[in-house]
Amino acid sequence: MNKSQLLTSAIFLWFTLMTVSVSVAKAADVLIIESYHADFSWDMEYKKGIAENLTSDYRFSYFQMDTKRLPVGKHLEMADLAWQKYLVLKPDIVVLADDNALKYLGPRFKNTATPVVYLGINNNPRDYEIYYAANITGVLERPLLKRSILYLKKLVTNVDKVLVLSDDTPSSKAAMGMEFENQDVIKLREVLVEVARVSHFSHWQEKVLSAKESDIDFIVVGLYQGIRDENGNHINADRVIEWTSANSDIPVFGFWDFSIGINKAIGGLVIKGYEQGYTAAKIIKRIVAGESVAAIRPEVAKKGSYIFSREEVKKHNLIIPTNMNSAITWVK
């Protein structure tokens, strides 16, 4: 790179830093680009976390990429449509929610002066070509999967083997891969943990029905919104978790709050979409107040919460130790 090119690059970086540090007044137009779909409970929770922690002066627009239900071949097309909406709306701030939105759109936004806040990111953001992007920061999602398993072990007697079951979407690969070091089987203290990521409902059903025979003591479900039938058609997420709860011969727990409730998973140490939104809202307020995006380091949202279903605990005759009760949020 010659001196002229270096000078041009330096000027562009200075201009970008100055632009994204300028206050956009006391409120802002915010475009939230969702990796998934509007009626997915995770999306509803983080959007609630954002909206409830910003003033009524903020104006929100949304775009759903629907990548849980659409085949991978359609994802780039949805990203293009999201980009077109951004170009039309010209929002003050963009929120990129979950890995697929950041993967497909982060590299485009780093070449703009628009402040961008991501949330729900399981992978390392560097993997999405946004390293050193002066206008992008956000919230990381780090499920405490190992810690959750060790906690749940206290509720089931004589635990030797656990099955972690999830779909095979990029989000699952990122979360499970990072936590379990891309291993299919790991030893967690004295517990053997089998990690299974499956694409098809028939395979999911097979893993659940054979778990007891395979000496699995309990199942922990991860993400399951990307499960499909043999023809590639999306299976409704509620159908997946409700079938799992009804047909498993052993207890079923969860890593995410949306998986827990009547006819769903029993409970667990989970992460909440609301906390992702709440933390993203704090970052948005800092940007609107005039703080440079480049100076705001990515955050990890509040650590997991203990959530259990009263009905499911009763159904499985589980006894919650007295010293754990005070830390649990109970749902029906």
- 185-188/191-198 β-pairing: antiparallel
Average pLDDT over residues 221-229: 95
Residues 313 and 195 in one domain: yes
**Does residue 258 share a domain with residue 212?**
yes
For 232, the domain range is 145-270+306-331
Question: Does 5 score more than 80 pLDDT?
Answer: no
Structure tokens at 53: 């922690």
For residue 321, what pLDDT is reported?
Answer: 82
Nearest to 42 by CA among 253, 322, 270, 231: 270
Residues 104-115: pLDDT tens digits?
999 999 999 999
**Is the CA virtual torsion 64, 68, 69, 75 positive or negative?**
positive
Q: How many domains does the chain have?
A: 2
Q: Measuring CA to CA, which residue among 164, 222, 223 is closest to residue 196?
A: 164
Domain of residue 295, CATH code: 3.40.50.2300
Mean of pLDDT over the chain? 90
The yes-or-no verdict on residue 65 having pLDDT over 80 is yes
- 196 and 136 together in one domain: no
Residue 14, pLDDT above cutoff 50: no
Based on the domain organization, do 133 and 149 belong to the same domain? Answer: no
| Whether residue 227 sits in one domain with residue 296 | no
Are residues 58 and 190 part of one domain? no
* Same domain, yes or no: 324 and 180: yes
Query: pLDDT tens, 38-47?
Result: 999 999 999 9
- Shared domain for 137 and 155, answered yes or no, is no
pLDDT at site 1: 52
State whether 90 and 16 are in the same domain.
Answer: yes
The reply to whether 291 and 165 lie within a common domain is no
Q: Please, which pLDDT band fits residue 171 given cuts at 50, 70 and 90? A: confident
Examine the pLDDT at 16 and tell me if it is beyond 70.
no
Same domain, 194 and 182: yes
Q: Name the CA dihedral angle for 109, 110, 113, 115, rounded to a multiple of 10 degrees.
A: 70
- How many whole angstroms separate alpha carbon 254 and alpha carbon 39? 20
For residues 158 and 216, the answer to whether their CB atoms sit within 8 Å is no
Q: Is residue 230 located within the same domain as residue 159?
A: yes
